[in-house]
Amino acid sequence: MTKTAADIPLLTLKGQQNEIGAEVKAAVARVLDSGVFILGPENKAFDSEFARAVGAKFCLGVDSGTSALELALEAAGVGPGDEVVVPSFTFIATATAVSALGAKPVFADIDPVTLTLDAKSVEGALSPRTKAVIAVHLFGQPCDLDPLLSLARSRHLAVIEDCAQSHLATYKGRPTGSIGRLAAFSFYPSKNLGAAGDAGAVTTNDAQLRNIIDELRNCGRSAIGGYHHVRVGHNCRLDEIQAAILRVKLLRLEAWTASRQRLAALYNEGLSGLPLKLPPLGSKTTRPVFHLYTVRSDRRDALAEDLRRHGIGTGVYYPTPVHLQPAYAVSGVKAAALPVSEEASREVLSLPMYAELSTSDAGRVVETVRRFFKK
Ligand SMILES: Cc1ncc(COP(=O)(O)O)c(C=O)c1O
C-alpha cells in the first residue's frame, strides 16, 4: 500500500515535544517570571553544563552557529587578507563566516568515507596567508583531527572545529569541541541539541580566548559590564529563554545520542550488501553521533523518489558543494577541482533519523530501500 507523505518523515521534533514539552514550558515560565532575559543565571548555568558535557574548559552561548564560527575566527585573529581552509562539502555558513571577516575561504577536498576534511588536500591549499583551518565534523562524523593538528603546529595555524552537527561525538576518546583551539556549535532546532529558535555556542580551553569571545558577543564590553567597551564587538548573545530550554534538552542528549547510534547500526546492518556506500558506525578512534544518516548511491534521485512514493522522507545535504555555489563564483576554484566533494554532492541521500524514530519504522525504511534495489 502506498503511504502518505507524512508517514516516516526525514525529521520531526514531535516526539521530543511529547517527551519534554511540559518541562520546556516550565523552563520558559521560570525565565518569564524572573524578568531576566539577557546574560543571566540560565546562560551561566548552561555555559558550565555544556562545557562539562563536551569536555571543554569554557563555553559561551551565542545567538547562532554562524555567529559562533564568526566569533571563533575573529578571536583566533582572522581578518581581512587572511585565508582560511574549509571543506567545500559543508553547510555554507562554514565558508560565509570566513568571508564575513573579510578573509578568504580556500576550499579543500574531503575523505570519501567520512566525508570530512582530507589533510592532504588541506596541505595543498595552504599559503603564506593561511591563518586557520575549519574542521567540520559533518553529519556527526568526527574529522580526522590529528593530521590537521600537526599541520597546524608546524605552520602556526589555528584549528577551529565546526561542531554544528557533532554534539557529543568523540575523536580518540575526546569530545569534539574540546580539541581544536576553538569550536563552534549550532543549536538550530533540528540539531542533535536544538533550541526553540536560533542559538549556538563557542567552546575553548584557552582562558584568554574565552574572555575575547565573552567581550565580542556582548558589544565589546569587558567583564566589568556597563558602558565600558574594550573592543569593537557584536551583539550575538544567547537569550535566557533559549539557554533555559537548552538546559532541559541537554539532560537528554546522551540518551538521544545513543538512540541515534542504535538506529544507525540497525540501518547499516539492514542495508548491507546493497549497491550503497554506508556511513561508518565508528572506529577505534571515532564515535559518530549521526546528526544525519547519509548513504551514497549513483541512483540517488530515483531512490529518493521511490521512498517518497512510499511515504518516506529523505534529504540531500548538500546538493551543491560550496565552491560551486553562485555566491562563491568569484572564489577562483575551477569546476572538478574537488572531485570527492563533487561526487558526494551527486550521490548523498539522508534517510529518516531522529532519536524517537521507532525501530519498526527504521525497519520499514530498510525494507523499502531493499525492494528498490531488487527491481
Ligand atoms: C556544518 C554547519 N556549520 C554551521 C552551521 C550554522 O549554524 P546556524 O544555522 O546555527 O547558524 C550549520 C547549521 O546548519 C551547519 O550545519
CATH of the domain at 361: 3.90.1150.10
- Tens of pLDDT along the chain (375 residues)? 444 555 999 999 999 999 999 999 999 999 999 999 999 999 999 999 999 999 999 999 999 999 999 999 999 999 999 999 999 999 999 999 999 999 999 999 999 999 999 999 999 999 999 999 999 999 999 999 999 999 999 999 999 999 999 999 999 999 999 999 999 999 999 999 999 999 999 999 999 999 999 999 999 999 888 999 999 999 999 999 999 999 999 999 999 999 999 999 999 999 999 999 999 999 999 999 999 999 999 999 999 999 999 999 999 999 999 999 999 987 777 666 899 999 999 999 999 999 999 999 999 999 999 999 998
270 and 349 both lie in a single domain: yes
**Domains in the chain, number:** 2
| Closest ligand 1 atom number to CA of residue 198 | 10
Q: At residue 13, what is the residue type?
A: L
172 and 31 both lie in a single domain: yes
60 and 207 both lie in a single domain: yes
244 and 259 both lie in a single domain: no
User: What range does the domain containing 204 cover?
Assistant: 15-250
Q: Residue 167 C-alpha to ligand 1 middle, in angstroms? A: 12
The CATH number linked to 238 is 3.40.640.10
Distance between start and end Cα atoms, the chain: 17
Q: Measured from the CB, is residue 68 less than 6 Å from ligand 1?
A: no
CA distance 209 to 60: 11
Three-state DSSP state, 347: helix
Pocket test for ligand 1, best of 11, 63, 66, 202 (most atoms within 8 A of CB): 66
Residue 9 lies in a domain: no
243 and 257 both lie in a single domain: no
Of 250, 275, 306, the last residue of a domain is 250
Q: Whose grid coordinates read 591549499? A: 125
Q: To which H or E segment does residue 301 belong?
A: helix 300-309
Residue 266 lies in a domain: yes
Q: To which H or E segment does residue 373 belong?
A: helix 359-374
CA distance 130 to 90: 20
Residue 54 lies in a domain: yes
| Closest ligand 1 atom number to CA of residue 69 | 4
Cis peptide bond upstream of 328, omega within 30: no
| Closest ligand 1 atom number to CA of residue 93 | 4
217 and 277 both lie in a single domain: no
Residue 335 lies in a domain: yes
Q: Residue 173 C-alpha to ligand 1 middle, in angstroms? A: 24
202 and 263 both lie in a single domain: no
Instruction: Tell me the CB-side half-sphere exposure of residue 317, using CA atoms within 13 A.
Output: 19
Q: Residue 242 C-alpha to ligand 1 middle, in angstroms? A: 17
Name the nearest CA neighbour of 140 among 354, 365, 347, 358.
Answer: 354
Report how far apart, in Å, the C-alpha atoms of 66 and of each of 73, 94, 236, 302, 360 are. 11, 7, 10, 33, 36
216 and 298 both lie in a single domain: no
